[in-house]
Amino acid sequence: MYELGHFIDGKRVAGTSGRTANVFNPATGEVQATVALASDAEIAAAVASAKAAQPKWAAMNPQRRARVFMKFVQLLNENMDPLAEMLSREHGKTIEDAKGDIVRGLEVCEFVIGIPHLAKSEFTEGAGPNIDMYSIRQAVGVGAGITPFNFPAMIPMWMFAPAIACGNAFILKPSERDPSVPLRLAELMIEAGLPEGVLNVINGDKSAVDGLLTHPDIAAISFVGSTPIARYVYGTAAMNGKRAQCFGGAKNHMIIMPDADLDQAANALMGAGYGSAGERCMAISVAVPVGEETANRLVEKLIPMVESLRVGPYTDDKADMGPVVTKEAQARIKSLIDRGVEEGAKLLVDGRNFSLQGYEDGFFVGGCLFDNVTPEMDIYKTEIFGPVLSVVRAKTYEEALDLPMKHEYGNGVAIYTRDGDAARDFASRINIGMVGVNVPIPVPLAYHSFGGWKSSSFGDLNQHGTDSIKFWTRTKTVTSRWPSGIKSGAEFVMPTMK
Ligand code: NAD
């Protein structure tokens, strides 16, 4: 058993609220730690520390800010194995998948090493008679990020790397399910040379989130999690005068055209549907084969693959996927599978009774495969966030396209085809933020921006890429003229360039 507190002013501190939450080992079902849940006083201390540290950090030239990230990237690489182990122990995902989680965050840190170039300003010489005009981007001040359990390394780094590189101070409120890695990342940032107070980590639940959303000294909020909370955070942040970018849930479709390489498509569905036990916002949870023959051939290939999935604890280096995060998540997923059976979908592979010798109390769900799912069913409409793939059969390409188009969520989508015309038409017409052509999980790299459409995202600027530089800075435009250029007396008419 270990106890986790907060990270304020450059060091770990114990919680003082008296409220804690349990942190489980999802593979064994045991409570392995407790995490402190912050009080308003602890939030106030973190914000005060950030506010005090920010002006000096923003005044440091961007090359020196970049060097902190150069060192941090080096430290992440040196600490990869212990970080991955720490992450898997609390999340449950396999070690290799945990390394992917860390590396995708590390890549955002590599991207922000370019901050001297990324944050350069615009200048117009001679915008008017003897007038120069320039627009600069300045840090917003203190920002906060609220992150989900499923990527405890990548998503915190999506947020704090650009925020801090731009000269802000940052308060991270990670998921209370797997808080060890975020705390360790903050320690490594200090080791990399970040001044104390620029990055603080506050653990907590709704009360901590509300404390951040209403704090007058916080200028910007970045959120990633489920859609109802994203909607709430966006609204509350806006009501409190803060800029906000909030990313929510998903239901990602993969359309398989009759000309697709079906072995490639089936392999892609396995990785994208069951990797990380389906607990990815970019997981594929709906397969849409076009035409009966495509559907029959695809399902025939998938059944033995899902049946032979290797499910195990993170200590099993041959496991394809681990348990889900909590007992509640396990119960919710199983009840949604029950619901699918009641609704008349055909459960071709049933993972509900999966049990692993020696890990009987772990939060495991075996891989599940549904066929003949229809758009009216709850299992189609709801984000299951577990190892469950639904096949929805479509007669034509237009019918297939219509499914993700009409779905509430718009995070990711993919098409498998050899037909360039179909792929181009799909990418152009689809109303979804991230599109894969023969790529099942089209998560953009760090120098492009990540974000969905529809109920998967609230706000207009995405994570990482150039959007993140815009989100974490605000524009100031300066118009300047020197006394030798001023010719006339008082002017009462609106100045124009007529
Ligand atoms: P969650 O919404 O339960 O929690 C996210 C964060 O919000 C956590 O830090 C949590 O402490 C906090 N929170 C929970 N309840 C709250 C409340 N009532 N008020 C204020 N804050 C609250 O999400 P989760 O279960 O940790 O993560 C899974 C969800 O996140 C899935 O829906 C998944 O699709 C989504 N997700 C989306 C993306 C994306 O980029 N769109 C990425 C990863 C995960």
- The atom number, within ligand 1, closest to the CA of 325 reads 25
The residues of the chain that CATH labels 3.40.605.10 are: 2-248+456-478
pLDDT above 90 coverage of the chain, percent: 97
Confidence of residue 483 (pLDDT cuts 50, 70, 90): confident
Nearest residue to 106 (alpha-carbon basis) of 154, 64, 71, 67: 154
Query: According to the model, what pLDDT value does residue 497 have?
Result: 80
- β-strand partners of 244: 221
Under CATH, to which class is 252-437 assigned?
A: alpha beta
The residues, ordered by sequence, that sit 6+ positions from 494 with a Cβ below 8 Å of its Cβ are: none
The sign one gets for the Cα dihedral 388, 154, 237, 212 is: positive
Name the CATH superfamily housing domain 2-248+456-478. Answer: Aldehyde Dehydrogenase; Chain A, domain 1 (3.40.605.10)
- Tell me the C-alpha distance between 235 and 150, whole Å: 23
Ligand 1 geometric centre to CA of 279 (Å): 12
CA angle 138, 54, 45 (to 5 degrees): 140
Tell me the mean pLDDT in the region 176-188: 98
Cβ atoms of 114 and 463 within 8 Å: the answer is no
Query: According to the model, what pLDDT value does residue 496 have?
Result: 86
Nearest residue to 252 (alpha-carbon basis) of 4, 442, 6, 464: 442
Tell me the mean pLDDT in the region 251-261: 98
Quote the tokens at residue 455: 């109920």
The verdict on the CB of residue 229 being under 6 Å from ligand 1 is yes
Q: What is the pLDDT of residues 18-34, one digit of tens each?
A: 999 999 999 999 999 99
Tell me the mean pLDDT in the region 353-371: 98
Cβ atoms of 111 and 464 within 8 Å: the answer is yes
The verdict on the CB of residue 179 being under 6 Å from ligand 1 is no
Q: Is 246 a catalytic residue?
A: no
- Tell me the C-alpha distance between 48 and 216, whole Å: 11
Quote the tokens at residue 72: 């941090």
Residues in the chain: 498
- Tell me the C-alpha distance between 415 and 387, whole Å: 21
Query: According to the model, what pLDDT value does residue 331 have?
Result: 98
- The atom number, within ligand 1, closest to the CA of 146 reads 9
Q: What is the pLDDT of residues 417-453, one digit of tens each?
A: 999 999 999 999 999 999 999 999 999 999 999 999 9
CA 324 to chain centre: 18
Q: What is the pLDDT of residues 4-20, one digit of tens each?
A: 999 999 999 999 999 99
Cβ atoms of 463 and 247 within 8 Å: the answer is yes
The verdict on the CB of residue 245 being under 6 Å from ligand 1 is no
Query: According to the model, what pLDDT value does residue 487 have?
Result: 76
The verdict on the CB of residue 234 being under 6 Å from ligand 1 is no
Cβ atoms of 111 and 163 within 8 Å: the answer is no
The verdict on the CB of residue 416 being under 6 Å from ligand 1 is no
- The atom number, within ligand 1, closest to the CA of 213 reads 20
Ligand 1 geometric centre to CA of 226 (Å): 4
Catalytic residue, candidates 109, 166, 246, 281: 281
The residues of the chain that CATH labels 3.40.309.10 are: 252-437
- Tell me the C-alpha distance between 395 and 295, whole Å: 10
